[in-house]
Amino acid sequence: MSTTDVKQHTPAVSPDTGSQLTAENLSVEIDGATLVYRRFGNRKPGAAPLVCLQHFRGNLDFWDPILVDRIAQDREVILLANRGVGASTGVVPDNVNDMARDVLAFVGALGLRDIDLLGFSLGGYISQELALLRPRLVRRIVLAGTAPQGAPNIHRWSDDVYAHACANEITAETALNIFFSGSEESRAKGMAWLQRTQLRQSDRDEATDLATRDAQLAAITAWGIPNRSKLDQLAAIIQPTFVAIGDHDAMMHTENSQLLADRLPNSHLRIYPDSNHGFLSQYPELFGDHVRAFLKAL
């Protein structure tokens, strides 16, 4: 597999499609909460919008602008801060089912009748739940760096992953340890990604707080209780699904994406080399093109 050097690249801002760096922060009211989101991209007729669901403790600004702007060349992209996350108000649910139901309420409030999903990490949990709860709403699914419910080895993270992921303060070093491998090249690409997350100059999202961390961790922990019977429900997710992960994912474990691909009836798997949990920001152009090709396929 070829890779692309992104260290000298910044995302191009197109007047036709907009950008993660300039898109307005919008909001919608659902069930006593205000959800903040960004909506931009090519509103091409017939192309379902791609709803992007973020990782543990991530806010809108953690989406790599190279990645989402690249996908936005073909279709509309909607980045959502779910209930209680970042600038969105309300209390973060402590379970994946309620998180998914909040996304359903959000999609309904926007009047969307069909969507594609890109779920990263915890967002991948929510995406699976959405496909089960509302199978005719979801057209295609991208599951990035995630695992199925009941999968092995995700109920209790390793001491190293837990220490970095759940630290009271997320620093550059903790982010690099969670998302990137120990190689010099991977860490360099990680630093480039961290710089890109700071490129947006105005109307930045609010940082997630410790209450968000604790509620999301409770949801992740419950999802990860080993239970092989939960794997059987993946047979109901018949939508075309692109499963993607780094070859050294210490948080979700690469073999769990293989498990997803094996259990989902209409999926394919791609593993990205020399990469940890943040492979999609290590290879934003390459992964972005893979997503674009998958979403455009008939």
From first to last of the 298 residues of the chain, give the pLDDT tens digit: 333 333 334 444 444 578 999 999 999 999 999 999 999 999 988 899 999 999 999 999 999 999 999 999 999 999 999 999 999 999 999 999 999 999 999 999 999 999 999 999 999 999 999 999 999 999 999 999 999 999 999 999 999 999 999 999 999 999 999 999 999 999 999 999 999 999 999 999 999 999 999 999 999 999 999 999 999 999 999 999 999 999 999 999 999 999 999 999 999 999 999 999 999 999 999 999 999 999 997 5
Q: Which residues of 258-288 are buried (b: 16+ CB within 10 A; e: fewer)?
A: ebbbebbeebebbbbebbbbbbbbbbbbbbb
**The domain made up of 26-296 is a member of CATH 3.40.640.10:** no
> E-assigned strands of the chain?
26-30, 33-41, 50-53, 76-81, 115-120, 138-144, 241-246, 267-272
153: left (phi over 0), alpha (psi -120 to 50) or beta: left
3-state SS, residue 171: coil
pTM for the model? 0.93
pLDDT of residue 298: 53
Give 65's contacts (C-beta < 8 A, 6+ positions apart). 10, 11, 19, 20, 21, 196, 199, 200
pLDDT of residue 6: 33
3-state SS, residue 50: strand
C-beta separation of 276 from 289 below 8 A: no
pLDDT of residue 5: 33
Task: Determine the Cα–Cα distance for residues 13 and 19; give it in Å rounded to an integer.
Answer: 6
C-beta separation of 281 from 288 below 8 A: no
What DSSP designation does 274 have? T
Please report, as a single letter, which amino acid is at residue 167: A
